Amino acid sequence: MSRIGKKPVSIPSGVEVTLSANVVAVKGPKGTLEFAHSRESKVAVIENEVLVTKVGETKKARATWGTTAKLISNMIAGVTNGFQKQLELNGVGFRMVSSGKKLTLALGFSHPVERILPDGLEVKIENNVLTISGIDKQKVGEFAAVIRKLKPVEPYKGKGFRYVDEVVRHKEGKKAAA
């Protein structure tokens, strides 16, 4: 029994949820998101709540029930507040520049690394902190992971990208012979 699937998802004021076939559309002050859910789940809007129920007792129905409810909850949170991830870049000579829909990174390679921003995402750079924000939680997290993978933080000097709230355990390194 899914604990997340049993709970109804509340719809705040200013947010509109519409259903058509197996597509849920959420419209709010920050934008619109759509999600095509599995036929194993049934979605209903009753007053100011979204109820997700499973269709049948199959393994897939049990697996997608809570996931569908959480994805709808994330869509509602995204169109009202939005999501953001913050990455911190440490290292001598490492730089970040944002121009339009392009992010240019100098990460100690022989060439600058350029990444095009996906639609619906915004990037803000302050000092050595890169803030990725948008209404789609999956896009924000995926783009942050792609950027972090370019130069993950190394455990000896702490150089590279790390999430702002991430704790990196430092290793001691080699000792000189006596």
64, 41 contact by CB (below 8 A): yes
Do 83-163 and 3-80 have the same topology in CATH?
yes
Q: How far is it, in rounded angstroms, from Cα 41 to Cα 49?
A: 16
Q: Match domain 3-80 to its CATH number in 3.90.930.12, 3.90.1150.10, 3.30.565.10, 1.10.533.10.
A: 3.90.930.12
Predicted pLDDT at 151: 94
Which among 144, 146, 137, 143 has a CA at the least distance from the CA of 165? Answer: 144
Predicted pLDDT at 6: 85
Please tell me the pTM assigned to this model. Answer: 0.88
Label residue 176 by pLDDT band (50, 70, 90). Answer: confident
Distant-in-sequence contacts of 43-48, Cβ < 8 A, 24+ apart: 43/19, 43/68, 43/72, 44/19, 45/11, 45/17, 45/19, 46/8, 48/10, 48/11
Structure tokens at 88: 């911190």
Which among 53, 49, 50 has a CA at the least distance from the CA of 41? Answer: 53
Predicted pLDDT at 101: 92
Task: Map out the domains of the chain as residue ranges.
Answer: 3-80, 83-163
CATH class assigned to 83-163: alpha beta
pLDDT tens for each residue of 107-129: 999 999 999 999 999 999 999 99
